[in-house]
A = this chain, B = another copy of it.
Amino acid sequence: MVYATADGTLRKRLTVGMVGGGRNAFIGAVHRLAMRLDDQILLVAGALSSDAENAAASAAEIGIAPERSYDDYHAMAKAEAARTGGIEAVVIVTPNHLHAPIATAFLEAGIDVICDKPLSTTLAEAEALVALTKAKKRRFLVTLNNTGYAMARQAREMVAAGELGRILSVHGAYIQDWLTQPIDAQAQKQAEWRTDPARAGQSAVLADFGVHAFNLASFISGFEADAVSADLFTAVPGRRLDDNAHVLVRWTGGARGTILASQTSPGHCNDLSVRIYGDRPGSNGRARRQRNCASRRMGRRSARWCAAATARRRKPGASRACRRRIPRVISRPSPISTAMPPTSSARIERALRSMLRARRRCRTSSTALVV
B residues in contact with A283, CB < 8 Å: 266
Quick check: A265 and B169 within 8 Å, CB to CB?
yes
A369 near B: Cβ within 8 Å?
yes
Quick check: B260 and A258 within 8 Å, CB to CB?
yes
B residues in contact with A226, CB < 8 Å: 370
B residues in contact with A227, CB < 8 Å: 369-371
Q: In the complex, what distance in Å separates the CA atom of A368 from the CA atom of B265? A: 30
Copies in the complex: 4
A124 near B: Cβ within 8 Å?
no
Q: Give the top 9 A-B pairs by smallest Cβ distance, nearest first.
A: A267-B299, A267-B284, A298-B298, A168-B235, A36-B36, A294-B294, A4-B61, A266-B284, A265-B277
Q: In the complex, what distance in Å separates the CA atom of A292 from the CA atom of B296? A: 11
Q: In the complex, what distance in Å separates the CA atom of A63 from the CA atom of B295? A: 38
Quick check: B264 and A257 within 8 Å, CB to CB?
no
The smallest C-beta distance from A36 to any residue of chain B, in angstroms, reads 4
Q: In the complex, what distance in Å separates the CA atom of A300 from the CA atom of B298? A: 9
Quick check: B233 and A256 within 8 Å, CB to CB?
yes
Q: In the complex, what distance in Å separates the CA atom of A266 from the CA atom of B166? A: 12
How many interface residues does chain A have, given as a range?
Answer: 35 or more
A180 near B: Cβ within 8 Å?
yes
- Beyond the given pairs A227-B370, A300-B303, A300-B304, 6 more chain A to chain B contacts, judged by CB atoms under 8 angstroms and listed by A's residue number, are A231-B248, A264-B277, A267-B277, A268-B299, A269-B310, A294-B296
Residue of B nearest to A227 (CB): B370
B residues in contact with A299, CB < 8 Å: 266-268, 303
B residues in contact with A264, CB < 8 Å: 168-169, 277, 279
The smallest C-beta distance from A305 to any residue of chain B, in angstroms, reads 11
The A271-301 residues at the B interface (CB cut-off 8 A) are 275, 277-284, 286, 292-301
The A49-84 residues at the B interface (CB cut-off 8 A) are 57, 60-63
Quick check: B244 and A169 within 8 Å, CB to CB?
yes
A321 near B: Cβ within 8 Å?
no
The A218-272 residues at the B interface (CB cut-off 8 A) are 226-231, 233, 235-236, 244, 246, 248, 250, 256-258, 260, 262, 264-269
Per-residue interface assignment for chain A, residues 1 to 33, with 1 indicating a CB less than 8 Å from any chain B CB and 0 otherwise: 001111000000000000000010000000001
A123 near B: Cβ within 8 Å?
no
